[in-house]
Amino acid sequence: MIYKFLKIIIAFLILSSSIIFFTLYVNKDYKTISLKANQSLFKKRIWEINTDSLSEEILSQMSLEEKIDQMYGEKMIESIPKFLGNYLFKNRFAHIYAGKNDRLNIPPWVLSDGPRGARVLDKKNAVTTFPVGMARASSWDVDLEYKVHEVIAKEMRANKTNYAATPCINLLRHPGWGRAQETYGEDPWLLGEFGLAAVKAIEKHNVMACPKHFALNSIENSRWKIDVSVDERTLREVYLPHFKKVIQKGKPASLMSAYNQVRGEYCGSNYELLTKILREDWGFEGFVSTDWIWGIYDAKKAIKAGLNVEMPWQDEYNYNKIKSLIKSGEILISDIDKLVLNTLKTRLKYAFSYDSIDYNDNLILDSSHINLARIAAEESMVLIKNDKILPFKKNGNLKIGVVGKLANIKNTGDRGSSDSRAPYVITPLEGIKDYHRNTKNKVIYNDASNINDAIEVAKNVDQLIIVVGYTYKNEGEFIDSPGYQIGGDRISLKLEENDEKLIQELSKFNKNLVVVYVGGSAIDMNNWQDKVPSILFSWYSGMEGGKALAKILYGDINPSGKLPFSIPKNISDYPYFNPFTDTITYGYYHGYTLFEKFGKEMSYPFGFGLSYSKFHYKNLIVSELNISDSTYQISFDIENISNYNGKEVAQLYVGFNESKVDRPVKLLRGFKKISIPSKEIKNVSFKLNINDLSWYNPEKKKWEIEKIKYKILVGSSSRNNDLIHSYISLE
């Protein structure tokens, strides 16, 4: 009895001390820690300091322990209480300070995720929350993506962070991938252009951009162990071009390694990826950090491979292990110096950078930021079917039925690292109600918990809006702990059974309806798409999504989004996908390249999306090769032959029908979003660089351009019927 009592007392003391410890960490004012160098300690003015030379000087003054301190985030004993304290008492993500050294005046850097809004929170405990990456990719508007990431970067700085673990530019190989919503689709060119826009905007505000996850991370549930096999052509032409473009043209400060293995070696210790390709082939000069917690398993391999920083805390890169490796001669101090110098040379540029604006709390949730969140949602939604249903009539004492549990849920997407806390979320129901607030129309909501009640609503309304799809419980970053599992890969691409039944039953009683899909990737609609006249992909549309949805349904906004992936008629035509496999081979073909190469029938092709306008392409002209800049000039006209002002996404593809090597039928090589008023014609032009015709020869280990005739195609989607064409010849 006494023993049990003592155990209770001890447990109480441990719990009490832990709470006090956590509370101290939470209440400690981390926001006063500067992320800039103390310039008063230097004789030269900020713009006169050569940070490369300074980095070398600082490195020469460091002890081995201080060098190792630059190779991880924080010590576990500090980080874990801080994580728990912030989570338990403030319900927020903690500031993790990496690389701080007061003796040598080295300020820390602080990471914030940010695919749809700044992740690490400060005073306001909420930020502008945008539609997810897949939604924004559906806008096909890189200028918009630049503006979105400018806002994200500003709010990161206002939240006292300066390292953005974004953008995610992993390729969508299969739509079941749980984190599909974070990325930009199935095509390397689209990924590269959007990733480049994001990085440039982030870096503009002296935030270190960190594209992720390098590389071949396209399965979620088994990401910590899966070993991906891939041949050299597939690696270079399919899974790395977007990383290469972002690295070479965007010049991000950093890069995040992936959890998975590639050809038998974990990405965080993969010499081929981190040194041979990233640094030697592409010329990357920044630093590589791990994905969090399980990023590396072998300190020696990681150091030799060129992995600079282990995050979020010190594990493999611990003092004893590294000292032991040096003592045994398995690594050299020069190996450590090289890694630390890469990091210092990169991040001291930001520590001594000049800010053109004051990044204060007032920037967060600025009205212009919130307005941009709504615009991003409007530009992103994709109308994939419309049998003369939309836009709905606005007036006439209408009864409007809004049906489905997701219609009234604040649903902005995944709850993992890409989560973003909004001050409010306008649901589809709220957006539609607000739109009709000052009219005589009546909005009737039913959550579809009882199918018979939902049917009665469908029978008695003039317009029917059925909202179906997913939440963070169905897809997203895989979080699996005792009694708590969310996200992960989707094994089935179908909607939940109740949603499919809802669509099938209600469509029998009301034909003036639209199905609004909420989610992050492609779905299987074969069971119900022929039964409904209109389908709109609204995605996870951010804090202002409900407003945007209403404006599109009622014609205030003309839909202009296009699918950043393909949906085949037969879902089994997608590449093999197993969320729990230990090994997998990624082939050369996927998405539209796979379906076109093998003649698979499409339901909705890559780049497809309807508008209330109708556009006509004509007058395609391809100029001779300009020797001075190695480009072809491609121009054509687009005419809006409808009565609606609209926006069109013009797409440029190159065909390889005469290739002597195995190549796709065609590949995307350019796109532009253009506003075209009713009955007007706009001339559109692209520049096609001759190097964008090349293929990677694995035997010669170089890129080559075939001397053949290439097909030049422009149009509104990748579907042949939507394209006009001409040719260029290198014969």
CATH architecture of 615-729: Sandwich (2.60)
Q: Which pLDDT belongs to residue 13?
A: 46
Confidence check: pLDDT of 12 > 50: no
Nearest CA to 544 among 641, 656, 363, 423?
A: 423
Give the class (CATH, top level) of 2-357: alpha beta
Beta pairing, strands 72-74 & 310-313:
parallel
Whose tokens are 């480049």? That residue is: 196
For the CA atoms of 401, 402, 404, 410, the dihedral, rounded to the nearest 10 degrees, stands at -160
Round to whole Å and give the CA distance between 389 and 680.
25
Nearest to 235 by CA among 269, 190, 188: 188
User: Percentage of residues in the chain with pLDDT exceeding 90?
Assistant: 88
Residues 6+ apart with CB under 8 A from 91: none
Angle at the Cα of 139 from the Cα atoms of 157 and 549, rounded to 5 degrees: 95
DSSP 8-state class, residue 88 = I
Beta strands, E only, 25-123: 72-74, 97-98, 109-113
Residues of the chain with CATH 2.60.40.10: 615-729
Segments of the chain assigned to CATH 3.40.50.1700: 363-604
Instruction: Say what the pLDDT of residue 21 is.
Output: 53
**Residues 689-714: tens digit of each pLDDT:** 999 999 999 999 999 999 999 999 99
Does the N-terminal peptide bond of residue 107 adopt cis geometry, omega within 30 degrees of 0? no
pLDDT in tens, 584-630: 999 999 999 999 999 999 999 999 999 999 999 999 999 999 999 99
- Within 10 Å of residue 7's Cβ, how many Cβ atoms? 10
- What pLDDT shows up at residue 39? 78
Position 604: which residue type? Y
Residue 15's pLDDT band, with cuts at 50, 70 and 90, is: very low
**Rounded Cα gap, residues 118 and 96, in angstroms:** 14
Peptide bond into 213 cis (omega under 30): yes
As to burial, measured by CB atoms within 10 angstroms (0-12 exposed, 13-18 middle, 19+ buried), residue 283 is exposed
The predicted-structure confidence for 118-129, as pLDDT tens digits, reads as follows 988 877 889 999
Element (H, E) at 376: helix 367-380
Query: Do residues 174 and 575 lie in contact, with contact meaning Cβ atoms separated by under 8 Å?
Result: yes
Tokens at residue 663, please?
């190549």
In degrees, rounded to 5, the angle at the alpha carbon of residue 549 between the alpha carbons of residues 462 and 448 is 55
Q: What is the pLDDT of residues 189-200, one digit of tens each?
A: 999 999 999 999
Residues 77-103: tens digit of each pLDDT: 888 888 788 877 777 888 999 999 999
Under 8 Å between Cβ of 703 and 697 = yes
- At 484 the pLDDT is 73
4 pLDDT above the threshold of 70: no
C-alpha span between 476 and 437 (Å, rounded): 35
278-326 pLDDT per residue, tens: 999 999 999 999 999 999 999 999 999 999 999 999 999 999 999 999 9
Work out the average pLDDT over 481-486.
Answer: 76
Token pair of 441, please? 């129309």
Structure tokens belonging to residue 340: 């630390």
Q: What's the CA gap between 550 and 378, in Å, rounded?
A: 10
Alpha-helix residue ranges (DSSP H) falling in 104-247:
133-137, 142-158, 188-204, 232-234, 241-245
Q: Is the pLDDT of residue 46 over 90?
A: no
CA 286/CA 678 separation, integer angstroms: 48
pLDDT band at 18 (very low <50, low <70, confident <90, very high): low
Q: What is the mean pLDDT of residues 675-681?
A: 98
526-546 pLDDT tens trace: 999 999 999 999 999 999 999
Question: ∠365-366-369 over CA atoms, to 5°?
Answer: 80
- Residue 7 pLDDT: 43
| Beta-bridge partner residues of 254 | 287
Least confident of 72-76, 221-225, 560-564, 680-684: 72-76
**DSSP 8-class letter at 101:** B
Can you give the pLDDT at residue 5?
42
Element (H, E) at 551: helix 545-553
Given this model, what pLDDT does residue 47 score? 67
pLDDT of 429 over the 80 cut? yes
Q: How many CB atoms sit inside 10 A of residue 292's CB?
A: 18
Distances (CA, A) of 639 to 575, 610, 646, 678: 38, 15, 11, 8
Share above pLDDT 70 across residues of the chain, in percent, rounded to a whole number? 95
Neighbours of 80 (CB within 10 A): 16
Q: Range with the lowest mean pLDDT among 76-80, 101-105, 237-241?
A: 76-80
CA 60/CA 433 separation, integer angstroms: 65
Between the two ends of the chain, the Cα-to-Cα distance in Å is: 93
d(CA 628, CA 625): 9
Task: Summarize the confidence of residues 420-448 as an average pLDDT.
Answer: 97
**Range list for CATH 3.20.20.300 in the chain:** 2-357
Nearest C-alpha neighbor of 487 from the set 416, 421, 409? 416
Average pLDDT score, the chain: 94
DSSP codes, 554-617? TTSS------SS-EESSGGGSPP--TT-SEEE--S--HHHHHHHTT--EEE-TT--B-SS-EEE
Residue 25's pLDDT is 52
Give the dihedral sign, CA 393/436/644/184: negative
Q: How confident is the model at residue 6 (pLDDT cuts 50, 70, 90)?
A: very low
Write out the two tokens for 145. Answer: 């993506």
**H/E element holding 430?**
helix 428-435
Which helix (H) or strand (E) is 14 found in, with range? helix 2-27
The set of residues, in sequence order, having a beta carbon less than 8 Å from that of 11 and lying 6+ positions away, is none
Tell me which fold the domain 363-604 belongs to.
Answer: Rossmann fold (3.40.50)
**Pairwise CA distance, residues 137 & 148, whole Å:** 12
SS3 266: strand
**Residue 451 φ/ψ region, left for φ over 0, alpha for ψ in the -120 to 50 degree band, beta for the rest:** alpha
SS3 691: helix
